Structure 1
Amino acid sequence: MLRRRLLLRGATTPPVPGLRRAFRSDASLKAIRAQSHSTKTTAASASDGPMHLALYNYPTFGGAYAALAAHLFHRRLRLRLLLLPFSSVEPFRAADFEDAGFETCYLLDFFGPKNFALELSQFIPSVIAFDHRRSTMARISHLGHCPSNLELNIDTTKSSARAVFDYLSKKFTGKKPDSDMCEKLLDQEDEERVLSVLKYIEDADLRKWQLPNTKEFQTALRDERGKLNCVTNPLVFEQLLQLDVCNLLAREESLTHNRLEAAGKLIHRPFKIQLGRGTYGECLVS
């Protein structure tokens, strides 16, 4: 495990060419600009408390569940948080956040392209990154030293989602302001269900493939991947809380059975296919 504060030097990341904003969307940029505007009204900002930012790797389930942990942590402590998906297809630029006045930035399940994390640390007081990939570990070893406000949590023995849940759960226990507040980030009814999903995500993220039916579980998750953008799907975190390993496996088993049954019926029914769109005649398949 690598958990250290590094000091980096590097050039500013150049702007991404082109006008495409499929992931660095107008809606996301509008939310950032709205925060930038609110910081200029200092009286309102002071009364509301500092604003925090969390960028999560999209569309990975490790990133999404790490974002769920951040969502629960800030909601329970009544802290303001802007959560946004981060995709390498059309990544944010550090300059997008420069005037927004964020107190903390979490990078969940990724370290960012080139010097992204370093550039954020130049104007955000605390930048905290989580990743589990060996490729990230290799990058870190060549970066040298970086500022004390950039904290890197790189652990190749656990998934980023579990690392973030562990980190924020410990932090939550130390910051819980009153005795009436829930003892944990997760309610008792959600805890067993979510932790079970996290085990399966970690099994795949670390390429262990040791849990029963783990590949079937990953196949079942594919249908949920399109829901992981919190900008286009504001209910994503409620939906993640409800995902259940047993239900997903049962659904996948049912779908597989139906497909095999349909294929079995079709395989005994002869039909014609055209060869070369009919250029070379037809063929009877049975």
Structure 2
Amino acid sequence: MGEFCGTEPLVGEILGLRTFRIDDSGTLLPLYSDGAWYDGVNTAVCSPPTGSHHRGPHRVPADDCECGFYAYGSVDAAVQNRQTRYVQAVVSCWGDVVAGTKGVRAAHARVDALWMSPAAPSWLRARVSTRYPSARLYADAGAMLAEHPLTELDCYERPRPRRVGPVVAAVVGIAALLGLGLLPFEMLQGSTALWTAWLLVTGAVAAGTGWLMVGTHGAGHFAAAFVMAGVLAWLLAPVFGITGWVLRVPLLRGIAVAVGGYLLALRPHYFPVVRAARERAFCGVRA
């Protein structure tokens, strides 16, 4: 959230880049909520999952809250989100605009232009075009950005090149963590190094799980808490012997779903389409 949060609100119209999910009715949806966007002007309100009602009424966006419409300030920042391979949209942001190092949060936003992957079915394109007549649909993302250049702000930082070392270290660390949860309890107790490592890792994960559960105030925090709880159950499984496999089921199921979803996305001509809900909450009030 800090990457979209600055010290002072900006006033004026700023062009940014963002992505959407699209349901089978042709409605544009944020990635983490079902608050659909209107054609034309959208006005932000503070509500979950990005905002919080506990602060009471306040100006949107607020520097100490996560509310507002989000947009990336550059293509390099936007493409770090995997969904941009399917959908990219140039949006105008105005009103109170809080700028950060990767993009902005705004009180008002409008979809000006939209690019959809060539894998998107023609019937979906037709429905999106009908639902958002004021947004121009492009067949080429480069052409869209050439005709709708993004606003460059001084606070934007250029993305740093990805380093392989930290990624490899993270993979090795996760593999080691999962390996500790697969070892028989007798083997863990029989080795001072393994026993110390298991106690330290299990204690750290337990503390992290407790901290997340106590401090949850958004959808992302709840998701992280559940993942950490699954990892904790995995680490505790050796204590219960054969019956400990029951504790490994949640994490195994999550891994299977994640891997399965990734493999499905590699299919030729794949394009994600969300099933439309019967009742849809909209992002804001048309102005």
TM-score (norm 2): 0.27
Task: Tell me which of the two structures has the higher relative contact order, counting C-alpha pairs closer than 8 angstroms and 6 or more residues apart.
Answer: 2
TM-score (norm 1): 0.27
